[in-house]
Structure 1
Amino acid sequence: MADDGEKAHSVDEDESLTFGQKVKRELHEWAVTLAVFIPVFMIFSGLLYEQRVIPSESMVPTLQVSDRVAVAKFAYGYDRYSLPFSLGRYLPIPEGRIFARTPKRGDVVVFEHPHTARVMIKRVIGLPGDRIQMIGETVYINGNPIDSEYIRTVRYVPHGRSRAVTAYEWRETADDGKSWLTHRQEKGDRGDNTVLFVVPEGHLFLMGDNRDNSLDSRFLSGHCPPIDGVVDRVGCPLSVEADQASVGFVPMDHLVGRAETVIMSLYRCKFEDNEPCKKRVWRGL
């Protein structure tokens, strides 16, 4: 009976409140909820995982436009770029990285573009000290061609286009056995043959899996000018506008984290010739 009385009393109280008082009470409850939720969310997304949405086709076929990707923030340590919503670029946080770890070749990394404020995603191909060069569409690492195997030819409709394109799918395998798929299209693209790149200490050489649609470390617009056909320096003035520059050599302290899983996707498969579509929900990279 006491419980019924308490409920009746609560109902009577609600009915006695004015509309303005009810709104004020609801706002107060929301404020309390957000005061608890926001710090928890900031700690989780700043220290553990955050979600990123893929904005372009530079990582096809591994990642498609609109894929939601889980990024492990703890994979390479923490610095100002680890904060959620890119808050680190606006706060007076000292440079440097704590619990720093070097990525492995083949890792898919999320990072802040060295020349602009854009957050991007590419694959690690070159580590500090590596000598990287593209010769006839093939990646050479320290003078040796990466193991490449032709898989199949596919036709698909790229994001935002109405016509299908033909892509040749290859599997590349690193020395440690890690492998990934790449797409190649027209032979003779400007990224198929490059000068020699020697990756400076504290930097990475990154490439997109969609080799003919990725402004990555292969392109000179984000690098110092080559000397005798070799690029091995950083810190030179750009020869183009910053938003037109490639990523160049990417400093490791610009890393946000390691992309690990496609959580879900709004991508609609548009393969032709009845090619099968890969699973795009909770798929590891």
Structure 2
Amino acid sequence: MRLLNRLPEWLRFILSTAVIMLIMKTVAFGSNFIPSESMVPTLQIGDRLVVEKWAYGWSRYSLPIDPGFDFPTKNGRIFSHLPKRGDVVIFTNPKTGETYIKRVIGLPGDRVAMSGGRLVLNGVVAPRRETGHYAYRDPSGVPVAVTRYEETIPGGGKHTIIERTDHGVADDMAEVTVPPDRLFMMGDNRDDSADSRFPELGFVPVENLQGKAELITWSFYDCTKEPGLTCASRRFFSPIR
């Protein structure tokens, strides 16, 4: 009888816990899976991420609401905060509706250019330091040899990028100015990233941000060690830099 008497209490606990978890997943946290190599070596294919939805406020892209709904605000977000240069963010491609992950390079008003593989931000060439060679297999199994650099974004932090060459199709770009309420995105795998350097993506509306990629929780990434190939370590509950 004592167990039956406590049944309503248990049901209330289970229900309240489920409601709290639903709210947390809806407005606070999300999860994403990395399907491509555009952010190698920072992120590997198969990494599962925790996304902070509140980091930049909320929009129709970060909440499970009718896609046709729009917040009646200047940039379509409530409690809006701009990301910092160098943040790794999840966003909705404004042209295809697909979910992308890239690094924020340019904020509204910034001038962005590429010259001989070097990022130029507001007229300042981003310092970079070579940190060794890196080799990986692309999704088709072809080995790719690149050079690894530590790049410092002017006005931002340091992060790792890789380059096959400094003379690729996107290694030279005339200076552009980021419009109001727009962002300029780039992948860390500079010669294998469909990002804001290309018209297929272009500038990304601030409204389209889903959240900040904060943590690698676990990964399906797999790499067979072989001569000359760099196998990234498996990451569990690792912060994203």
TM range (shorter): 0.7 to 0.9
1:55 aligns with 35
Q: Secondary structure at the match of 1:216?
A: coil
8 Å contact 2:151–2:159 — kept in the other structure?
yes
**Deviation, structure 1 residue 174:** 2.3
Q: Indicate the larger mover: 204-213 or 269-278.
A: 269-278
Within 5 Å, give how 1:10-25 maps onto structure 2: none
The answer to whether structure 1 residue 151 and structure 2 residue 139 are counterparts is no
Seq. identity, %: 38
Q: Alignment partner of 2:25: what SS?
A: helix
- AA in 2 matched with 1:248: G
The residue number in structure 1 matching 2:78 is 98
More strand by share: 2
1:114 aligned onto 2:94:
yes
Unaligned runs of 5+ in 2: 5-11
Q: Write the deviation string for residues 228-274 of structure 1: whole angstroms up to 9, x where unpaired.
A: xxxxxxxxxxxxxxxxx2x2111101100000011110001346437
Which structure: larger Rg?
A: 1
Matched, 1:282 2:213: no
The runs of at least 4 aligned residues of structure 1 exceeding 6 Å deviation read: 32-38
Paired residues, number: 228
For 1:166 and 1:211, the matched residues in 2 are separated by 13
AA aligned to 2:121 is: I
> Once the 2 structures are TM-superposed, how far is the Cα of residue 39 of structure 1 from its aligned partner?
4.6
The alpha carbon displacement at 1:59 in A equals: 0.6
TM-score, scaled relative to structure 2:
0.86
CA distance in 1, matches of 2:99, 2:229: 35
Indicate conservation of the 8 Å contact 1:108/1:259, yes or no. yes
CA separation of 1:215 and 1:69: change in aligned 2, threshold 3 A: same
Partner of 2:220: 266
Q: Deviations over 1:203-228 (max 9, x none)?
A: 11000011111111112x2xxxxxxx
8 Å CA contact 1:128, 1:200 repeated in 2: yes
SS in 2 for 1:166: strand
Q: State the one-letter code of the partner of 2:55.
A: A
Confirm or deny: 8 A CA contact 1:171 1:179 kept in the other structure: yes
Match of 2:187 among 200, 208, 219: 208
Aligned to 1:68: 48
1:277, CA displacement in angstroms? 2.7
1:46 aligned to 2:26? yes
**Counterpart Cα distance in 2 of 1:55 and 1:141:** 29
RMSD of aligned residue pairs (Cα, Å): 2.4
> For residue 249 of structure 1, what is the aligned residue in structure 2?
203
2:167 is aligned, of 166, 179, 188, to 188
1:190-212 superposed Cα distances (whole Å, 9 cap, x missing partner): 10001211001111100001111
